[in-house]
Amino acid sequence: MNTDSVVVLTFDDAVSNHATFVAPLLQELGFGASFYIAEYDGEGTDHFVTDKRQYMTWEQIAGLHAVGFEVGNHTLHHVLADRVSEEVLTDEIEAIEQRCVAHGIAWPTTFAYPCGNESNEAHQVLARMNYTFARICGDRPYRPATDSRLSVPSFVITGEKEALFYQALEQRQPGEVIVYTFHGVPDINHPWVDTPPAVFEKMMRHLKVQGIRGIALRDLR
C-alpha cells in the first residue's frame, strides 16, 4: 500500500451524527472509516441507552456495517484499559463482540483504547483475543516498521485543533501512516472533543482534492 495516498479515519463513541452526517459524506467521497462502539455510561443524561440525541441506535450501527464501514470495539462501558483487571477488560470487549453478533455485524478485529489509555496487560488481552490493530492517541504518525500493531498512534482532531489535521499531512515522512481520531461532528455532550460539521467537511474535501483516500484501520493489513 502506498501510504502517501491514504489516511486512516476513525470515529469514537457511537455518536448519532456518525450515521446521519459523517457516513453519508464519506460515502459521497468514496472513503472508508472505522467506527468504534461503546455503550457510553456518563454523568447526568449522558447514557447510550437513553440519550439518542447523542448516541446511535444499534440499528444505525448495523447500517454502517451494511454499507461497508468497519465497526470496531471500544469496550462496552468505555472503560480505561489501564485501570481495570484483565478479566474485566476481557468481559468488556466480549460484550461489544456479542452485541455485534446479535445485530448482524461482523466480529470486530480492531480496537480503540478509550481515552488512549493502554497497558502491557491490555496488549496481552487483545493478542489473546486475536485483535489485529489497536489505536491509541499520541498525535504522531504510525510507523509500521517500529510501532506495535496493538499501539497505533493517532492524531486526535477537534475544531480547536483543526490546524493539526493539516500539519500531520504536511509533516509525514515516507512509510508513515496518518491515523485520525474524531468524536462527534458535532459532539453535543462532550464539547472538548467537538468538531463542527463545516470544519469536518472542509477537512474531508481537502483530502479528496489532494488525491488522498480515507480507509478503515482494518485495511492497513
Nearest in space to 93 (alpha carbons), one of 123, 120, 63: 123
Q: According to the 3-state scheme, what is the secondary structure of 84-145?
A: CCHHHHHHHHHHHHHHHHHCCCCCCCEEECHHHCCCHHHHHHHHHCCCCEEEEEECCCECCC
For residues 200-219, give the mean pLDDT: 98
For residues 164-185, give the mean pLDDT: 97
What confidence score (pLDDT) does residue 28 get?
Answer: 98
pLDDT at 45 over 90: no
What confidence score (pLDDT) does residue 141 get?
Answer: 98
Task: Label residue 185 by pLDDT band (50, 70, 90).
Answer: very high
The domain limits of the chain are 3-73+135-220
What confidence score (pLDDT) does residue 44 get?
Answer: 83
pLDDT at 221 over 90: no
Displacement of CA 88 from its chain's centroid (Å): 22
pLDDT-above-90 percentage for the chain: 95
Residue-wise pLDDT tens digits, 142-168 = 999 999 999 999 999 999 999 999 999
What confidence score (pLDDT) does residue 1 get?
Answer: 64
What confidence score (pLDDT) does residue 97 get?
Answer: 98
Q: What is the pTM of this model?
A: 0.97
Q: What is the CATH number of domain 3-73+135-220?
A: 3.20.20.370
Grid coordinates representing 40 are 457510553
What confidence score (pLDDT) does residue 43 get?
Answer: 80
| Measured distance CA(67)–CA(87) in Å, rounded | 34
Task: Label residue 42 by pLDDT band (50, 70, 90).
Answer: confident
